[in-house]
Amino acid sequence: MSAKITIKEVAKKAGVAAMTVSRVLNRSGYVSEDARSRVESAVAELGYVPNQLARGLRSKRTGTIALVVTDITNPFFTTMARGVEDAASDTSNLVLFCNTDENEAEEQRYMRLLIEKRVDGVLLVPAQAGQQSLELAKTHGVPVVVVDRAVSGQEVDVVRCDSRDGATRLADLLLIKGHQHFAVLAGHHGVSTTDDRVEAFVTAVKQSNPSNSIEVHYGDFSVRSGHENAKKILNAEPRPTAVFAANNFISIGALQEFRQQGISVPEDIALVGFDDLPAALVTFPFLTVVAQPAYEMGRRAVEQLFKRIENPEASPEEILLPTEIIVRASSGNGLK
């Protein structure tokens, strides 16, 4: 069993002070290129690995943050996670990934575990309101940045997209094409991304012409929910000619259901959705969507979390990232 290598042995081998080794390892303070090179060579040759627990006790940092998402199978969240991991690894931080399946009890269980693990901070996509998890973190002095969704009545940093603007742009696109009968296939009522998208879309449709018809079907952010609610609107009277699916999985479920029912998109029903799908997963991009910058959202959330860790007393910020509308075949050319 090789003896544990100490920082003093590294310093001796590199011919520098122990403080210089510490600066190189923590990427902090000035170090000449020559000294840095000698330290890195000595660390490699001796196989030195810092004692993270000991460092944590001194610096009160563990070099670990956490990302808590609601559906780790959703490419929106895996793309966001990539942005998080890239930004964290740029500063030698580790990321713990937690998945809550939109369940508040699971979210609170994870928040308690992360507090026990002394993570330096948490990036939280709240399952619903997120209040209890945020209160728990605040009680224990653990910095949190809320991502993707808004939370009411909480003094907390938020990094998200402007769902209202995106949904309004999709409604305007369909209204210009002459549609007057609409349906919205939505996620969980009470989640801010659901309520923002529904409210903005319905408002745009009704403000364009109060006699326009619109029906909203709530469900969850799943392919199954897209199927179930797409089935319902096919029996509606008047049948909608344009449908807004409020996230990528709902869009996929609706498209599959329409095709199973022999309904042609966009000839029989125009379909628009929120969230683009990664180009690598889609052979023939077909859906008109509002795309969220998921990767950039992840990176910005990490930057905001590190700012919060360094300056816990600063006023909370809300960073609203722009969305991009991508028009493809599914929204059609308008009514004949």
Q: What minimum distance in Å lies between the beta carbon of 36 and ligand RIB?
A: 42
How many residues bind ligand RIB (CB under 6 A)? The answer is 10
* Integer Rg of the chain from CA: 25
Phi, psi of 60 (to 5 degrees): 60, 25
The yes or no reply on residue 164 touching ligand RIB (CB under 6 A) is: no
Q: What minimum distance in Å lies between the beta carbon of 336 and ligand RIB?
A: 33
CA distance 221 to 185: 10
The smaller minimum CB distance to ligand RIB, of residues 160 and 308, is found at 160
Of the candidate residues 13, 149, 164, 179, the single one contacting ligand RIB (CB under 6 A): 149
CA distance 31 to 22: 10
The smaller minimum CB distance to ligand RIB, of residues 10 and 80, is found at 80
Of the candidate residues 22, 69, 76, 228, the single one contacting ligand RIB (CB under 6 A): 76
Q: What minimum distance in Å lies between the beta carbon of 330 and ligand RIB?
A: 17
CB 8 within 8 A of CB 49: no
CB 183 within 8 A of CB 213: no
The yes or no reply on residue 248 touching ligand RIB (CB under 6 A) is: yes
The yes or no reply on residue 229 touching ligand RIB (CB under 6 A) is: no
Q: What minimum distance in Å lies between the beta carbon of 74 and ligand RIB?
A: 5
Handedness of CA 82, 83, 88, 89 (dihedral sign): positive
DSSP-based three-state secondary structure for 184? strand
The smaller minimum CB distance to ligand RIB, of residues 180 and 222, is found at 222
Handedness of CA 76, 97, 106, 128 (dihedral sign): negative
The yes or no reply on residue 247 touching ligand RIB (CB under 6 A) is: yes
The yes or no reply on residue 241 touching ligand RIB (CB under 6 A) is: no
Residue 251, both tokens: 């869009």
The yes or no reply on residue 225 touching ligand RIB (CB under 6 A) is: no
CB 80 within 8 A of CB 297: yes
Torsion of CA 328, 287, 322, 170, to 10 degrees: 80
The yes or no reply on residue 110 touching ligand RIB (CB under 6 A) is: no
Footprint of ligand RIB (CB under 6 A): 74, 76, 148-149, 187, 193, 221, 247-248, 275
